[in-house]
Amino acid sequence: MARLLLLGAGHAHLDAIRAIPTLVTRGHAVTVVGPGPCHCYSGMGPGVLGGTYPPRAMALPVRRMVEAAGGTFVADTAVRIDAPGRAVHFASGLRLGYDVCSCNVGSVVAHRLPGGHGAADDGPDNSDGPGGPDGDGGGGGAPLVLPVKPIENLYRARQALLRLAARGPVHVVVAGGGPAALEVACNAAVCLGRARGHGAATVSERDSVTLVAGRTLLPRLPERARLLCRAAAAARGVRIVEGARAVRVAKDGLLLDGGRTQPASVILLATGVAPPPLFAASGLPVGPDGGLAVNAHLQSIDHPDLFGGGDCIHFTPAPLARVGVHAVRQGPVLAANLAARLDGHARRTTGKSRASGQPGLAPYIPRPGYLLVLDTGAGTGVLHRPFGGAELCLGGRLAFLLKRAIDTRFLRGHLPPGGTRPGECPWDATA
């Protein structure tokens, strides 16, 4: 028997979780450790903020999935990986040994802002921030600050915006100039517009949503896609500020590098993502941004029993954009390689030689280009897909319908019968 330890239950580990019954049949033991009983699918997070989806729509009940498959689920957070000793230490003090370990622990907001009295923490719940015990900013106090990671923070942001809208004007500032920042700004506008009873889902004159984009908005997208995104933001009443960078959280808003303060009741941080500090803190080989350095087989370059996928890795053959499509595509490769490594351990334990013709580790081969569809709120989207030297750009309802079809198909492929149950996600106040 060999022991498989999965750190995180994100997109790149879902195929391995689905393979647990097969692994158990082969005599292996599988333990999955995650921060909570549900994993949130990031593709639907902005839609939850805007009210397109109920919060449970983006949740996968990973505890139930693991336990029903014959594995063990532990709610905890890894703080150190002892790769030479093949063990992982957790925040609770728990220590788990392994024969093969895989990491899919996601990412954190890359650029935190000083100020805010710790409100910009990336922990599981900072809704009791400086705005008061109910997690709201405004009311003369400091603004509520929420990073967009973990994804369930977007639902917490929605709850805060609705409570604030019931009391008076709401001023939202989104910090960041990438795709996530645009999605969050547009859906925050939809949330506020609908809270005021606006059928058009735009910001009312009482409220404001400002996107502080840094040097420029969406610098990695082509001009046609940027124009569509700007038009979508304008339709939602979102004001875009370029040529200015967020510096710190002030008592009445967000201080910009020019010295001006942008008034805010709520500040949403979408300033890019980076791997968590776990790997550097464990003394493991990492990339420039702290991601676990892996080879083409998604295997640590120094420790052959340690693997990883998704946002938390540095893919040494070629840097990868931190987008969900890579984690999803890495899933089947990672699951196959983990099974092969486990079987190898079992053979060595029993003294059996490798069977003739048995496959080794498979490489992850990134495909050139990927489809990007942004949720711009109220059933609209912006699509971009490069094709060699050409590209397809599309905005409006059709782009959103395609995104919804892709997202729901992905979730249906992993959800257990009956889907996510009321009460399975502790952060879901609608349960």
pTM for the whole structure? 0.91
- pLDDT tens, 16-47? 999 999 999 999 999 999 999 999 999 999 99
Q: What is the residue-wise DSSP string for 49-111?
A: HHTSS-GGGGEE-HHHHHHHHT-EEEE--EEEEETTTTEEEETTS-EEE-SEEEE----EESS
Q: How far is CA 190 from CA 55, 73, 148, in A?
A: 16, 37, 17
Q: Which residues of 156-190 are buried (b: 16+ CB within 10 A; e: fewer)?
A: bbbbbbbbbbeeeebbbbbbbbbbbbbbbbbbbbb
Q: Report pLDDT for 316.
A: 98
pLDDT in tens, 61-109: 999 999 999 999 999 999 999 999 999 999 999 999 999 999 999 999 9
The radius of gyration computed from the CA coordinates of the chain, to the nearest angstrom, equals: 22
CB of 334 closer than 8 Å to CB of 18: no
- Can you give the pLDDT at residue 139? 47
201 versus 97: the higher-pLDDT residue is: 97
In this predicted structure, what is the pLDDT of residue 118?
39
pLDDT band with cut points at 50, 70 and 90 for residue 136: low
pLDDT at residue 216 in the model: 97
Q: Which range is least confidently modeled, 125-134, 152-161, 170-179, 350-359?
A: 125-134
In the chain the domains, ranked by start, together with CATH numbers, are 3-35+76-107+275-350 (3.50.50.60), 111-273 (3.50.50.60)
Has residue 58 got a pLDDT over 60? yes
Residue 409, SS3 per DSSP: helix
pLDDT given for residue 120 in this prediction: 38
CA angle, 282 then 285 then 287, to 5°? 115
With a cut of 60, say whether residue 300 has pLDDT above it.
yes
Distance from C-alpha of 347 to C-alpha of 144, rounded to nearest angstrom: 55
The SS3 call for residue 320 is coil
Look-up: residue for tokens 């158990």? 24
Q: In this structure, what token pair is assigned to residue 131?
A: 């705005």
Counting residues of the chain whose pLDDT is more than 90, the rounded percentage is 82
Residue 199 has what pLDDT?
74
Q: What per-residue confidence (pLDDT) applies to 424?
A: 87
Q: Does residue 117 register a pLDDT over 50?
A: no
Average the pLDDT over 112-123 and give the result. Answer: 57
Q: Is the pLDDT of residue 137 over 80?
A: no
Per-residue pLDDT at 350:
65
Q: State what percent of residues in the chain have pLDDT above 70.
A: 91
Total Cβ atoms within 10 A of residue 386:
15
Q: What confidence tens digit (pLDDT) does each residue in 348-394 have?
A: 776 665 543 445 899 999 988 899 999 999 999 999 999 878 899 99
Task: Compute the mean pLDDT over every residue in the chain, rounded to the nearest whole number.
Answer: 91
**Which amino acid is present at 427?**
W
